[in-house]
């Protein structure tokens, strides 16, 4: 039987490699009970070496916080640009789409080179300004309460416009993707607006860099099984990509 020091070394090694460990899998590998593994994780968390979450533990804090859009733009910007470019390639000539809010969908807006006419409904002021340079893009800017941290709108006025439209695609940015908890954002009003956007679109495409996996925001948007495609970067944990693909979610890695 492994010693407590050996178990802790293996747990921390797996966290460095994969970013997340599962209680059940560790118990099988180390041939100890899940109670023992949970005690190990508690000891390691008390030392500040990991963060426990439902069913396991993560290397980084799984709970995300709201930050100003100017600050978030500087984080993983090369990855966001690649993701945005891939997302822009999904747009068809004469398409009608919804673009939510966030710095990754803003990067997508910069990459859009419309073929024919394009109709865009968006909650993001930054997305609207990026697309306003294209004569063939018709923009329906949603109204409502402006969130200064994201420069996007929420609330009943923003929600009401969605009752009158149905679009081919929704391009959705999120703050967290957790296989147990689903897709989340840091703002509950934004989460509610995103749920209505999902109802107003035929295909749901999520744009998320790999740092968003294994994280949770305050407001739940939906279960991950409700989406059709995720566009992300090469840092996505392999077990997450496999789970998504086996459930029928298209995973595009750029």
Is 105 found in the same domain as 158? yes
* Predicted local distance difference test score (pLDDT) of residue 64: 64
Alpha carbons 231 and 132: distance in angstroms, whole number: 25
* φ, ψ (nearest 5 deg) of residue 101: -130, 165
50 and 74 part of one domain: no
Q: Please name which of 209, 177, 202, 175 lies closest in space to residue 101, comparing C-alpha atoms.
A: 175
Domain for residue 11, yes or no?
yes
Domain presence at residue 215: yes
With vertex at residue 177, the alpha carbon angle to CA 231 and CA 166, rounded to the nearest 5 degrees, is: 60
Domain match, 40 and 102 both = no
Q: What is the pLDDT along the chain (254 residues), one digit of tens a residue?
A: 578 999 999 999 988 887 778 888 898 999 899 999 999 999 998 888 888 876 788 777 766 655 565 555 556 789 999 999 999 999 999 999 999 999 999 999 999 999 899 999 999 999 999 999 999 999 999 999 998 888 899 999 999 999 999 999 999 999 999 998 899 998 999 999 999 999 999 999 999 999 899 888 889 999 999 999 999 999 998 889 999 999 999 999 99
**Count of structural domains within the chain:** 2
Domain boundary, last residue among 58, 77, 97: 58
- For residues 137 and 236, state if they share a domain: yes
Indicate whether 82 and 200 sit together in one domain: yes
Q: Domain containing 148: what range?
A: 69-253
9 and 132 housed in the same domain: no
| The pLDDT of residue 63 | 67
Are 85 and 172 within one domain? Answer: yes
CATH number at residue 114: 3.40.50.1360
Q: What's residue 55's pLDDT?
A: 78
Which CATH number characterizes residue 28's domain? 1.10.10.10
What's the confidence (pLDDT) of residue 170? Answer: 98
Residue 185: closest CA among 55, 72, 107: 72
CA–CA distance from 235 to each of 17, 84, 112, 145 (Å)? 11, 16, 24, 35
User: What percent of the chain is helix, strand and coil (3-state, nearest 5)?
Assistant: 40, 25, 35
- Confidence at residue 75, expressed as pLDDT on a 0 to 100 scale: 64
Looking at the structure, do residues 45 and 85 belong to the same domain, yes or no? no
137-141/118-122 β-pairing: parallel
d(CA 3, CA 55): 22
Residues 113 and 194 in one domain: yes
Beta carbons of 186 and 64 less than 8 angstroms apart: yes
34 is a domain residue: yes
Does residue 64 sit within a domain? no
Instruction: Specify the DSSP class assigned to residue 216.
Output: B
Phi, psi dihedrals of residue 104, rounded to the nearest 5°:
-75, -40
Same domain, 121 and 226: yes
pLDDT for 67 = 55
Asked if residue 63 is part of any domain, the answer here is no
Query: Which pLDDT score is estimated for 147?
Result: 87
In a domain, 153, yes or no: yes
Alpha-carbon distance 127 to 31, whole Å? Answer: 52
What's the pLDDT score for residue 72? 56
Q: Do 29 and 143 belong together in one domain?
A: no
Q: State whether residue 166 is helix, strand or coil.
A: coil
Rounded alpha-carbon distances, angstroms, from residue 40 to 14, 51, 55, 153, 227: 14, 12, 13, 44, 35
Residues 43 and 96 in one domain: no
What does residue 153 show for φ and ψ, rounded to 5 degrees? -105, 150
Residue 58's pLDDT is 79
Q: Is the torsion defined by CA of 71, 105, 219, 45 positive or negative?
A: negative
Instruction: Report d(CA 196, CA 100) in Å as an integer.
Output: 11
């Amino acid at each position: 039987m492994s010693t407590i020091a050996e178990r802790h070394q293996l747990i921390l090694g797996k966290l460095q490699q994969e970013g997340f460990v599962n209680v059940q899998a560790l118990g099988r590998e180390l041939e100890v009970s899940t109670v023992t593994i949970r005690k190990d994780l508690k000891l390691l968390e008390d030392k500040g070496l990991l963060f426990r979450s439902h069913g396991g533990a993560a290397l980084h804090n799984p709970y995300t916080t709201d930050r100003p859009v100017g600050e978030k733009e500087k984080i993983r910007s090369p990855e966001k640009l690649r993701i945005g470019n891939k997302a822009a390639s999904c747009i068809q000539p004469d398409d009608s789409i919804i673009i939510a809010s966030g710095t990754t969908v803003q990067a997508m807006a910069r990459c859009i080179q419309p073929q024919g006419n394009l109709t865009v409904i968006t909650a993001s002021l930054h997305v609207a300004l990026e697309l306003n340079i294209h004569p063939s893009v018709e923009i329906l800017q949603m109204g409502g309460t402006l969130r200064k941290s994201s420069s996007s709108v929420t609330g009943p006025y923003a929600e009401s416009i969605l009752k009158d439209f149905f679009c081919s695609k929704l391009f959705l940015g999120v703050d967290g993707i957790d296989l147990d908890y689903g897709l989340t954002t840091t703002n509950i009003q934004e989460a509610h607006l995103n749920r209505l956007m999902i109802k107003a679109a035929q295909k749901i495409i999520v744009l998320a860099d790999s740092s968003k996996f294994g994280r949770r925001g305050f407001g739940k948007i939906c279960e991950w099984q409700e989406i059709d495609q995720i566009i992300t970067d090469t840092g996505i944990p392999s077990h997450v990509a496999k789970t998504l693909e086996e459930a029928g979610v298209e995973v595009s890695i750029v």
